[in-house]
Structure 1
Amino acid sequence: MRFCLFLVLLVFSINVCAQSTQSKKPLQANDKSDSQYLQLENLNHEDEFLFELFNSKFKKKYETESESMFRLKIFKKNLEQIREHNSLEGVTFKMGITQFVDWTREEYLAGLQQKKINLDERKKYKVFSEKGHLESTSPDEMVVNWVTKGAVTAIKDQKDCGSCWTFSATGVMEGRNFVLNRKLISLSESEIIDCDQNCAGCNGCLVEHGLEWVASNGGLCSEQDYPYVPSDQVCSKSKCKSQVNCSEIVFVKSGDEDALATAVQKFGPISISIDASTASFEFYKGGVYYGQECSPSLLDHDILVVGYGTLDGQDVWLVKNQWGTSWGDNGYVYMSRNRDNNCGIASSALFPMRCTNY
């Protein structure tokens, strides 16, 4: 199962490239009526019991008894790492059982493919470098939260397809269209996967290339009309009507978190790429994420910044992932802000300036 698609190498010697106060917790918690969720949160249970719950919740099926035993062994090893992290003093986030906990490290990383960005090509894009965003005035305040403003669609799940680039592309289009035209339309990732012949579908591409394809091919259909399938299919664009088109890609000044915050405040949700290769991100379940081993330049996962502020006295980015609601804080992650561009959150941020409804 692949969860993303490529590894981006950035060279930083070249720059590429309606506010409101919200409460501390802008997101809905996981459904507490889900008894499996509640029991999986309690890591004091026996490993074998948790493994059975895990298999049931995530619908895991192993072909042989030997494979089941192999997966249990991996599960126990990862669970030991999770418990060890959570027992440490001073940690700002917790780890827990996600859909990846029966995977080896090699399996988790298998979908990553190194790709070097063409910096000469990026010179053709405009660069946003303005500063002047609002900051928090209390220890727990989301200064900008596009989720509660209505600019963000529900959490999606890319499943067994290296399509994170398409989700980041549709997410930034959905948000920008809402800001400009006051309409939230969930857009089709599969249309990009199936129809953009200059990219590799479930085997990856760059977000900007996906957005360029959309702009030059008359926009995107809605997700309702062109539903998501986690595999490469025959292009069916002719069977649906485009709903939104966006153009004029702008990159935020690479590595500049102040400029990124200003862009989020002024323009809406922003497409970003991060280093998601660490086990701490793989098993993230809540709190303020800081990756000690993260790289600011080796980026392997495309997601969406949808807000910023403070949480528990720490500067944070509110980030939307597309690994379903069982990962993270109901599908979201609070990532450290103003800590040296941790995990490369501001290294490759972009948005389309213009969007049109049809």
Structure 2
Amino acid sequence: MVSKIAIILILGFLLAEARFRSEKEQDDRKWELEINEDGNPEFKKEAIKIHRNSRHKHSKTRRGLIRLNQKDNEEWEAFKHLHNRKFHSIDTENKRLMNFLKAKEFVQKHNEAYELGDISFKVEINSFSDLSHDEFEPFTGYKQSPQLNSKNSVFSWNPPVNATIYGSIDWSHYGYVTPVKYQGRCGSCYAFSAVGALEGQYKRLTGKLISLSEQNIVDCSRTYGNGGCKSGWFTTAFQYIKDNGGIDTAETYPYMGKEQQCISRQRNSGVKVTGYVNLPYGNEEQLKIAVATQGPISIAIHACELTFRGYKTGVYYEKGCSSNMIDHAMVAVGYGTDPKHGDYWLLKNSWGTSWGEQGYIRMTRNRNNNCGIASYASFPLIH
């Protein structure tokens, strides 16, 4: 028979082991989500007790999800509901949440600087705030440099002589611009830029504003070197439209946000192109003259900074962006001068009306071709 002493020793050992396991498991669950010196979120083992009111000190739940304080949790749940976020794994949600928390802190610090007058524009949490750089990339879609095509129909830029150049202009006020569109998770900004310029030129020629088909360009200009939903050039789109004998209207060839088989029909062509004009590289004054005298112009910029993704209002200036690393195409529909923040370009984006100033952005003008605003600018010639 086992002695009472032996039984007591065995029970004591089992209790001690259970307590050790419990403490170990509890310790393994305690993690902190912090923003490091480089501005990136990362997990760290908890060194001190987690404070309820601390901004970025969160622990992990038993399921592995990051445990948030009440304010962060409410904002994250509201964000997921607003943008219809549904995650298929805990790891994916944690990664997106880390991006969201990073964006949240960035927005707060940036807007504090705006209120102090140190920055000329505000940013906000929007539908891009939980995306990584790679996840955001499909929302752009302009290739680095124009492709040379043996069949190209490029014409030299000859500024109009004695033309009136107004101090400001907004072609949307004159019926040259269709409502803001949404490209979705398809790198087709080049198609939206080309179509925006074409719509303006057609209005200038005929007095009629017609919404034209971006999907036509996405599906049918791939044989010219464009990548469908994987980026392209607006000049190549102009060349395709010229050779095709026109472009479909949006009504006859609606946008689907994905690549499809080309189904362009000549009878539905809304606009015929004879060629296109490339403006001088990096010359903002010539871009101004072109916008003033020709109407909306296709342009491309460097847009992958967090400040651009989160732009809300104001005159955008980003010292960290490049005038050469171009990745996103838009339409220059005007220019003007803000009494507080100076000269700006008015650009129509293709990210819907919830982004920026109802889908538009005012970008700084006459500040050394900031973000490459005048590096690649073109407009089509039509008849």
- Would you say same fold, with TM above 0.5? yes
Query: Structure 1 CA distance, aligned partners of 2:268 and 2:154?
Result: 29
Query: Structure 1 CA distance, aligned partners of 2:276 and 2:347?
Result: 20
1:336 is aligned to: 364
1:100 is aligned to: 128
* Amino acid in the other structure paired with 1:95: V
How much has 1:112 moved relative to structure 2?
6.3
Aligned residues: 305
2:99 is aligned to: 74
Residues 216 and 253 of structure 2 are in contact (CA less than 8 Å); yes or no, is this contact kept in structure 1? yes
1:24 is aligned to: none
1:36 is aligned to: none
Query: Structure 2 CA distance, aligned partners of 1:264 and 1:113?
Result: 21
Q: Secondary structure at the match of 1:249?
A: strand
Query: Structure 1 CA distance, aligned partners of 2:266 and 2:136?
Result: 36
2:17 is aligned to: none
1:148 is aligned to: 173
Query: Structure 2 CA distance, aligned partners of 1:208 and 1:236?
Result: 21
Q: Is 1:182 matched up with 2:207? A: yes
Pick from 139, 154, 165 the counterpart of residue 125 of structure 1: 154
How much has 1:190 moved relative to structure 2?
0.6
Q: Is 1:134 matched up with 2:165? A: yes
2:378 is aligned to: 350
Residues 289 and 336 of structure 1 are in contact (CA less than 8 Å); yes or no, is this contact kept in structure 2? yes
Q: Say which is worse superposed, 127-136 or 50-59, in terms of deviation.
A: 127-136
1:168 is aligned to: 193
Pair 1:112–1:53, CA change in 2 (3 A): same
Q: Secondary structure at the match of 2:174?
A: coil
Higher RCO (C-alpha 8 Å, min separation 6)? 1
* Amino acid in the other structure paired with 1:243: G
Residues 173 and 352 of structure 1 are in contact (CA less than 8 Å); yes or no, is this contact kept in structure 2? yes
Alignment RMSD: 2.3
Structure with the higher fraction of residues in helix conformation: 2
How much has 1:80 moved relative to structure 2?
0.5
How much has 1:224 moved relative to structure 2?
1.2
TM-score (structure 2 length as normaliser): 0.74
1:64 is aligned to: 89
Residues 225 and 240 of structure 1 are in contact (CA less than 8 Å); yes or no, is this contact kept in structure 2? no
* Amino acid in the other structure paired with 1:354: I
Q: Secondary structure at the match of 1:325?
A: coil
Q: Say which is worse superposed, 209-218 or 63-72, in terms of deviation.
A: 63-72
Pick from 325, 349, 354 the counterpart of residue 321 of structure 1: 349
1:229 is aligned to: 256
How much has 1:58 moved relative to structure 2?
1.8
Structure 2: gaps spanning 5 or more residues:
1-69
Write the mapping of 1:266-285 to structure 2, written as runs, cut at 5 A.
266-285=293-312
1:20 is aligned to: none
